[in-house]
Amino acid sequence: MNRVLVWVPLAVFAVLVGFFFRGLDLNPGEQPSALIGKPVPEFLATDLYTGRSLSNKDLPNEAFLLNVWASWCITCQVEHPYLTELSQTLPIVGLNYKDTIPASTNWLAKLGDPYQMQISDPDGRLGLDLGVAGAPETFVVDAQGIIRLKIQGEINDRVYERDIQPILEEFTP
Amino acid sequence: MKWLPALAMLLVTFTADAAIETYQFDSGSQEARFRTLTLELRCPKCQNQAIGDSDAEISQDLRAEVYRMLKTGATNNEIKDFMVDRYGRYVLYNPPLDRQTLVLWFGPLIFLLIGAVGLAVRIRRSKQAMDHRNTSA
C-alpha cells in the first residue's frame, strides 16, 4: 500500500506540470466570442465615406471577414498589408471602431483601402453589440451571415492558415 | 547629515490622477447598484480587474453602458445578461451555479474531502500502531 502512496506526490506534480505547460501558451485576455454560431447583430450605421446608411442587408452574401480597426491602432497598421493581400480572394468588411472620419479616411488614403465596405462606428455602439474589447479584432462570417470565429489581435498568414482557413472550409458548402 | 536627502525624499508624494467620470444618479440606491454592478462585471481586456476598477477604454465604455441601462430602468439581471450576451460568461466575477460551473464551485470541496479522508486514514493507522505497541509492551 505504502509503495503505491509514495508515487502520489509525483503524480500530483506531473498533473500540475501538465496544467502549467498548457497555460504557457494560453492568453487569458483572449476569450472565445459569445457570438459564435449567432448572426451578425442587427445594426444601423453609416458608410465611412459617403454617410449612406448601412444595415445587415448590405453585408456580402458570401463568407467574409469583418475586421474591427481604427487609425489609432498600431497593430491594425501591422496587419494591413496582409489584409490587403487577403482581400484579393476573400471580401473584407471594415468596422471603423471609435475613430474619427478625417483620421480614418487619411489613414486609408495613405495605406490603401482593401475593404469592400467601411462601416463607421464612432462611438463603438456596434462594437459593443459584437463584444469587441479593442482593435484589431476580426470576425469570420459565413455565407449565411453567421459568426463562426473571432480573432483578437493581428491577422497574418500563420493565423490565417491555422485558424481562419479551416473554419472557412468547414462552413463553405 | 547624510540622511537628510533621504528624509527629504519621504516628503515627496505622488498623486494619482485617474480620469473618473462623474455620473449623476437619481437616487442613492441607484448609485449603490452602479457601484455593485461595476465591481461584479469583469473588464474584458484586463482579466484581474472589474470594470469599476479599471482605466481601460473598454471599461469606461461598459461603465457608461451600465449607467445608461440603470437610467432606463433595467434590472441588475438585465444588465448582467446584456453583458454576458456580448462578452460571454467571462464578464461575471460571480458566475451562476449550473452544469458548466459545477467543477468551479465544487472542485475545491472535492479536494477538501480527499484531504480529510487521507488525514482520517493516517490518524487511524497511527492510532492502531500505538495500540499495537501498547498491547505488545
B44:A124 CB<8 A? no
pLDDT-derived band at B46 (thresholds 50, 70, 90) equals confident
Contact (Cβ atoms closer than 8 angstroms) between residue B103 and residue B51: no
Residue A112 maps to a domain = yes
Contacts of B85 (CB under 8 A, 6+ apart): A34
Q: Residue A172: pLDDT above 70?
A: yes
Q: Is the pLDDT of residue B11 over 80?
A: no
**Is B30 within 8 Å of B70 (Cβ atoms)?**
yes
Split at pLDDT 50, 70, 90, the class of B7 is low
Who has greater pLDDT, A142 or B98?
Answer: A142
Residues in CB range of B68: below 8 A, 6 or more apart: none
Could you tell me if residue A144 is inside a domain? yes
pLDDT in tens, A68-125: 999 999 999 999 999 999 999 999 999 999 999 999 999 999 999 999 999 999 999 9
Give residue A43's domain range.
Answer: 35-171
Please give the pLDDT value at position A4: 83
Dist. CA B10–CA B73, nearest whole Å: 49
pLDDT value at position B9? 63
For the cut 70, the answer to whether the pLDDT of residue A8 exceeds it is yes
| Shortest Cα–Cα distance, A160 to chain B (Å) | 23
- Name which of B57, B61, B85 is nearest A34 (Cβ-Cβ): B85
The CATH code of domain B23-95 reads 1.10.8.640
User: CB A29 to CB B46 under 8 A?
Assistant: yes
Q: How far are the Cα atoms of A34, A117, B1, B41, B72 from residue B90, in angstroms, in the given order?
A: 9, 31, 56, 9, 25
Give the pLDDT confidence score for residue B30 in this predicted structure. 94
The answer to the question of residue A29 being in a domain is: no
Position B16 pLDDT exceeds 50: no
What grid cell was written down for B53? 476598477
Nearest to B45 among A98, A128, A133 (CB): A133
What CATH number is attached to the domain comprising A77?
A: 3.40.30.10
Cis peptide bond N-terminal to A136, omega within 30: yes
Q: Are A77 and A101 in contact (CB under 8 A)?
A: no
Instruction: Please indicate whether, in this complex, the C-beta atoms of B47 and A32 are within 8 angstroms of each other.
Output: no
Q: Which of A99, A128, A139 to mutate to test the interface with B (most CBs of B within 10 A)?
A: A128
Strands A64-69 and A92-97: parallel
Residue B8 pLDDT: 67
Please indicate, yes or no, if residue A92 is contained in any of the structural domains.
Answer: yes
Nearest-CB residue to A128 (from B45, B65, B90): B65
The per-residue pLDDT for B97 is 85
Q: Do A134 and B57 touch (CB under 8 A)?
A: yes
> Residue B126's beta-bridge partner residues?
none
Whether A163 maps to a domain, the answer reads yes
CA–chain centroid gap for B53, Å, is: 11
Q: What's the average model confidence in pLDDT over B121-125?
A: 92
| Interchain pair A34, B84: CB under 8 A | yes
| Extents of the domains making up chain B | 23-95, 97-137
| Cα distance between residue B18 and residue B8, in whole Å | 26
- Percent with pLDDT over 70 in chain B: 84
Of A32, A131, A134, the CB nearest to B86: A131
ipTM for the predicted complex: 0.82
Q: How many domains does chain A have?
A: 1
